[in-house]
Amino acid sequence: MGAESRSTIQAENDLKVFFSGFHFQYSAPVNWEERVNSSSRCVTRLPLHESRLRTNTLDEAEGPGSTDRNVVKRDSLVRWVTPECPPEKVGALESLFQLLLDLATLSASLSYDLYSYRREDIKPSKLTSMTLLMQYYGYSEAEAIRILRQEILGEEQKLRDKYRKWESSSATISDSLRTYSVLLMLAAGGSNYWMSRHLGSETYDTGLDNQKGDYTPPTEVDPHNLLRLEGYEPPCWIPSRVKTYAISQSVSESDSEGIKVKSASDSDLKYNVLTRFQKADSEKICMEPFVYTKDLPGKNTVSKFIMSLRPWLNIPDTSASVLKDVMTALQNASLMLDDIEDGSTLRRGAPAAHVKYGVSQTINSTIYVLAEVLSKVHAHLRPECSKAFSDEIQILALGQGLDLNWTFHEERPTVQEYLTMIDHKTGGFFRLILRAMEIEADTTPNEDLRHLITLLGRYYQIKDDYQNLASEEYTSKKGFCDDLSEGKFSFPLIHLLENSPNADDLHRMVFKHKQEKVTEEEKVYILSEMQRMGSLKHTKGILTELFDCIWETTGTLERQLGENKRLKSLCLILKL
């Protein structure tokens, strides 16, 4: 007889011994594959904390179904299934059995609890899986049987899945190790199969679907003192008005006495103070101010700017799409905060978000959007982009801080200080797009291109300052001379206050908004003073100078990086 045949006979003999330990009447021949796959009776711990089922129930149970008699400890099981295995090799088998043994042995114990409950006279004082479900969780006998059956089916599948995953791994598996692991599964599955067949179909065909509402409630049981079984509905006998009874979700293994937690005295309690954390379904509420702002008609400058740089920075379409989404979100979140900080009531011709949804909710929405932006950057763009976003968002805040500080303290900045603020605030937004695209294109930063972005940021902001005071289209969307209403310093106003002999009076007129708003007549007067002092003309001249430099720098870059009609077209669109 060959070695392989002798090994097979020994394996079958070991299997007979193991099955006999579970009162399994062995009879050959046996189709083991069919038994494992068709029995589907193996159960492991319920979806409770281990302390509630494993330590506080099985280890304390008495009689044939207890762990000390029916569940064999890991080391003894290895020696039992492999009686000829040298002691020094037992440790090598531990790694396999540690993966499978808990499922198999606990499965056999819980199956025996179900078997013994129907076949033996189980006293209520004896703690088994069935009595646990009925006494501490309030389930009827039929409900407890259904729960154990469901756990049997699910956990036996888990046992097989774990074995198959181990078997298909790249690890070297000896024939003896494979044999013993299969024996373990067959032993547990065979035991459960035998017990399920000897119980009869009445144990599993409980007819629960036709018995809802017909259960007799356990005597002298207050539903508020019951534990709640995770993953299952409360017992049917409990009135719907108290289905939310308090439960203990965190009893430690050592705290077997703490399994009951009383609720408030109010029997109509509608909340569960001990439930685990669940993320609130409130994203729609958080996002409403942002979605409202984003949907207001705009010029789509972000998307156009990204597309205009792609001839020089060849980034993947997926990166461009993500960058467009996150930068559009960041832009709209910044506008929402700007409107709050500036006291502006209009945005793109409609009520600002904080007017419609409230200041607090709008601020909260911007925080949520910012977190979402950073999450998307981290998930979909290169790792270096996360640092670029972090850096530039901080720089944006520094620029906004300068602007808010001047407004609050009514301190006029110099033109150079104002340009520094623009480079941080408006320029920082454009620079962030550039840095992200450079990273995604895996290219070395070009200093001429970065200077071009700085010039574009200055042009964009100073043009906005000019149009706020001189554009009828801007007036229709933001109101007449909105910057004056907000008491904000702008490029034309700084020039006026630096050059007008009436600077002190004009300063008091603009910044009396803390007590009362600037009137329409006062705005008209300030505009006339700007005309007289040439402030608007000076601002327009600065814009022309900036545009000429932008156009010249673009030409220089085209000689370095190639033609870029998209960027030139965008510059012409932005031109005053």
Do 85 and 190 belong to one domain? yes
CB count in 10 Å sphere of residue 325: 16
Domain contains 125: yes
The average pLDDT across 502-506 equals 90
Query: Are 139 and 211 within 8 A, CB to CB?
Result: no
Domain end call among 190, 210, 230: 210
Q: Which residues contact 455 (CB under 8 A, 6 or more apart)?
A: 546, 549, 550, 553
Domain contains 102: yes
Domain contains 265: no
Do 166 and 306 belong to one domain? no
**C-beta contacts of 401-406 below 8 A and 24+ residues apart:** 403/488, 403/489, 404/341, 406/489
Chain-wide mean pLDDT for the chain?
A: 75
Domain contains 345: no
Instruction: Return d(Cα 352, Cα 292) in angstroms, integer.
Output: 9
CB count in 10 Å sphere of residue 458: 23
- Give the total number of structural domains in the chain: 2
Place 379 in a pLDDT band, splitting at 50, 70 and 90. very high
Strands in 303-407 per DSSP E: 346-347, 350-351
Grouping H, G, I as helix, E, B as strand and the rest as coil, residue 270 is coil
Do 401 and 542 belong to one domain? yes
Query: Are 405 and 481 within 8 A, CB to CB?
Result: no
The average pLDDT across 16-39 equals 35
The predicted structure's pLDDT at residue 240? 53
Do 307 and 169 belong to one domain? no
Do 308 and 180 belong to one domain? no
Domain end call among 210, 230, 258: 210
Instruction: Return d(Cα 114, Cα 154) in angstroms, integer.
Output: 16
Domain end call among 210, 239, 274: 210
Do 159 and 308 belong to one domain? no
Could you report the per-residue pLDDT of 304-343, keeping only the tens digit for each?
999 999 999 999 999 999 999 999 999 999 999 999 998 8
3 state SS for 502-570: CHHHHHHHHHHHHCCCCCHHHHHHHHHHHHHHCHHHHHHHHHHHHHHHHHHHHHHHHHHHCCCHHHHHH
DSSP state of 336: H
Do 409 and 554 belong to one domain? yes
Could you report the per-residue pLDDT of 69-121, keeping only the tens digit for each?
333 444 444 444 444 555 554 554 455 556 567 777 767 777 777 777 766 65
Grouping H, G, I as helix, E, B as strand and the rest as coil, residue 350 is strand
Domain contains 460: yes
Q: Give how far the C-alpha of residue 47 lies from the chain's centroid of Cα atoms, to the nearest Å.
A: 23
Domain contains 321: no
For the stretch 143-179, what's the b/e string if a residue is b when 16 or more beta carbons lie within 10 angstroms of its beta carbon? bbbbbbbebbeebbeebbeebeebeeeeeeeeebbeb
Domain contains 322: no
Determine the residue type at 172.
Answer: T
Instruction: Return d(Cα 517, Cα 343) in angstroms, integer.
Output: 11
Q: Is the peptide bond before 29 cis (omega within 30 degrees of 0)?
A: yes
Q: Which domain holds residue 521?
A: 301-314+382-574
Q: Could you tell me whether strands 350-351 and 346-347 are parallel, antiparallel, or unpaired per DSSP bridges? A: antiparallel
Query: Are 216 and 134 within 8 A, CB to CB?
Result: no
Domain contains 327: no
Place 351 in a pLDDT band, splitting at 50, 70 and 90. very high
Place 221 in a pLDDT band, splitting at 50, 70 and 90. low
Give the end-to-end CA distance of the chain in Å, rounded to a whole number.
Answer: 98
Q: 72 vs 107, 110, 331, 473, CA distance in Å?
A: 12, 14, 65, 84
Please indicate whether residue 411 or residue 208 has the higher confidence score (pLDDT): 411
Any idea what the CATH number is for the domain that residue 534 is in? 1.10.600.10
Query: Token digits for 259?
Result: 């399994």
Do 556 and 407 belong to one domain? yes
Phi, psi of 62 (to 5 degrees): -115, 160
Query: Token digits for 418?
Result: 């104002």
Q: Which residues contact 116 (CB under 8 A, 6 or more apart)?
A: 63, 64, 65, 122, 128
> Over the Cα atoms of the chain, what is R_g?
38
Do 395 and 543 belong to one domain? yes
The predicted structure's pLDDT at residue 397? 94
507 pLDDT above the threshold of 80? yes
Determine the residue type at 165.
Answer: K
349 pLDDT above the threshold of 60? yes
The predicted structure's pLDDT at residue 220? 55
209 pLDDT above the threshold of 70? no
